[in-house]
Amino acid sequence: MRTNALVGYSFLFAVSALVPGAVFAGLYGDTPNATHAWSVHDGNRPKPSRVTVDEKGVPSDAIVLFDGTKESFEKNWCDGKGNPAKWIVNDDGTFSCGTGFKFGECRTREEFGDCQLHIEYKHPADITTIGGNAQMRGNSGVFLMGPKYGYEVQVLESYYTCKELDGTPEFIQNYADGQAGAVYAENPPLVNPQRKPGEWQVYDIVFHQPVWKGSKLIHPGSITVFFNGVLVQDHWEMEGQTTHCRRRPLAPPPTKGPLSLQDHGCPVSFRNIWLRPLASRWDNLTHSDMSADPEKVMAERRATAAKLYAKIADPKAATADNVKALAEVISYADEGVYAADFRNALEAYRAKPGDANEIKSVNNVLDVLIRNKVIPEAAKIANPK
Ligand code: MG
């Protein structure tokens, strides 16, 4: 693809972009727009920060919510009212809910919005102790943004679910949108990769909450779940907040909530829980898509324009370099002194242009603005005769 792109559009690239080891600066990709703060191949766009992963697989920028110790549990987890959680911390680096609905909710003290979450759980190996049939069979749940306004990724013993399929004891088969890996009451998992009871199960979840502007829904949000490494929720766009039996439409909730584990009266153990907060689609200006807030995008564009303009020694000079530098400035914000200086410099340069190679380099930049409708086709500079 790269080869084809170079053949088809090589006239758009500055010479320095094609020289190995050279650093290209300037405008040559499609310009910023209402929901993109950066141009294509933008050299000013922030670079990703470095993250390392330790021997346990925990990224260096993760918040470790449970590391196996009692101290970690007490520091990070509480009940639904902020009091110490009643769940049991075990000697083997796990914590557990038991039977009888006596334990209550176990939630994080800190609240989160969009995030990447890693969490592991296990049911007792003896399936007769798991707690019954159907939704009483090892039920718990991972509530993103809490049980009141949030979204539940179901925890259940779903390995043995159907006599017809596996010939196991005749448990009552669970409904598909309530089995392990389901976005509860909405979407069943794509497949069932659950291991046998007694083995650890792993959820890796990417959660983006819905985006609202006042009462207008901009994006429904999404849940992606890898279950024991297998994709079971493929960027599922939520239809509502989790409830039972009914469809509860999405509504503007708080933008943060606790990570909450459900007490459904069944024995389930958890371990190795970490979370990486992610920027909301609405606020993410570096990785923005069409859900980004246009006002924030424009503010970012103006900030970049101001930064680039400040680097130009003499914005009034009619040089090729100035025309190209000011073209980059107006690609972010075609307004005010930037617009005036660009057009003045361009007209002055047009009256006294350089040689053919220099004109070509200026026109390459002007072409980007023309194809993005920042300036008209007539702005191009004619080659010398
Ligand atoms: Mg549940």
The bridge status of strand 257-261 relative to strand 140-144 is antiparallel
Residue 13 has a pLDDT of 38
CA of 154 to the centre of ligand 1 (A): 5
Residue 276 has a pLDDT of 98
Residue 160 has a pLDDT of 78
CA of 167 to the centre of ligand 1 (A): 25
Contact 176, 158 (CB under 8 A): no
First-last CA distance in the chain: 36
Residue 245 has a pLDDT of 85
CA of 283 to the centre of ligand 1 (A): 31
Share of the chain above pLDDT 70, in %: 88
Residue 5 has a pLDDT of 37
Residue 291 has a pLDDT of 81
Contact 155, 140 (CB under 8 A): yes
CA of 75 to the centre of ligand 1 (A): 24
Residue 292 has a pLDDT of 87
Structure token pair of residue 20: 């190995």
Residue 126 has a pLDDT of 82
Question: Three-class SS string for 240-298?
Answer: ECCCCCCCCECCCCCCCEEEEECCCCCCEEEEEEEEEECCCCCCCCCCCCCCCCHHHHH
CA of 185 to the centre of ligand 1 (A): 10
CA of 182 to the centre of ligand 1 (A): 9
Contact 284, 150 (CB under 8 A): no
CA of 364 to the centre of ligand 1 (A): 58
CA of 213 to the centre of ligand 1 (A): 30
CA of 208 to the centre of ligand 1 (A): 20
HSE at residue 321, side-chain half, CA atoms within 13 A, is 6
pTM: 0.86
Angle at 357 between CA 25 and CA 310, to 5 degrees: 35
CA of 269 to the centre of ligand 1 (A): 14
Angstrom distance (rounded) from CA 117 to CA 273: 7
CA of 116 to the centre of ligand 1 (A): 20
CA of 155 to the centre of ligand 1 (A): 6
Whole-number Cα distances in Å, 130 to 119, 153, 260, 293: 20, 19, 21, 47
Residue 164 has a pLDDT of 53
Q: Write out the E strands in the chain.
A: 63-66, 77-78, 88-89, 95-97, 106-112, 115-122, 140-144, 151-155, 201-208, 211-213, 216-219, 222-227, 230-236, 257-261, 268-277
Residue 137 has a pLDDT of 86
Residue 290 has a pLDDT of 79
User: Which of the residues in the chain have pLDDT under 70?
Assistant: 1-25, 127-131, 161-173, 385
CA of 130 to the centre of ligand 1 (A): 14
Structure token pair of residue 294: 């246009």
Residue 52 has a pLDDT of 98
Domains in the chain with CATH codes: 14-46+286-379 (no CATH), 63-277 (2.60.120.560)
CA of 190 to the centre of ligand 1 (A): 18
Structure token pair of residue 81: 């009212």
Strand arrangement of the beta sheet that strand 140-144 belongs to: 77-78, 106-112, 257-261, 140-144, 151-155
Name the residue among 172, 162, 192 with its Cα closest to residue 180. 192
Residue 252 has a pLDDT of 84
DSSP codes of every residue in 197-217: TTS-EEEEEEEE--EEETTEE
CA of 252 to the centre of ligand 1 (A): 23
Under the phi-then-psi rule, with left for phi > 0, alpha for psi from -120 to 50, and beta for the rest, what region is 376? Answer: beta
Residue 355 has a pLDDT of 95
CA of 194 to the centre of ligand 1 (A): 15
